Structure 1
Amino acid sequence: MGNGEKHVRNFPLHLPHLHHSKKEVRNIPKGCLAVLVGLGEEQERVIVPVMYFNHPLFMQLLKEAEDEYGFDQKGTITIPCHVAQFRYVQGIIDQENSYHHHHVSCFRA
Structure 2
Amino acid sequence: MPRLGAAKVKAAAEMPPKGCMAVRVGQEGEEQRRFVVPVAYLDHPLFAELLDTAAQEYGFNQKGPIAIPCGVDHFRHVSDVIHSDQGGAAGHHRHRLRHFAACFGAR
- The offset of 1:31, in angstroms, is 0.3
1:92 aligns with 2:69: no
Aligned length in residues: 79
- Flag the structure with larger Rg: 2
| 2:70 aligned to which of 67, 76, 81 | 81
Structure 2, unmatched stretches of 5+, are: 1-9, 90-107
Tell me how far apart the structure 2 counterparts of residues 51 and 97 of structure 1 sit (CA, whole Å): 9
Deviation at residue 99 of structure 1 after TM alignment: 1.7
* Deviation beyond 2 Å, 4+ runs, structure 1: none
- For residue 35 of structure 1, the aligned residue among 14, 23, 40 is 23
Which structure: greater helix fraction? Answer: 2
Higher RCO (Cα < 8 Å, 6 or more apart): 1
User: Quick one: percent identity of the two aligned structures?
Assistant: 52
- Secondary structure of residue in 1 paired with 2:26: strand
TM-score by structure 2 length?
0.68
Instruction: In structure 1, list runs of 5 or more residues that go unmatched.
Output: 1-19, 101-109
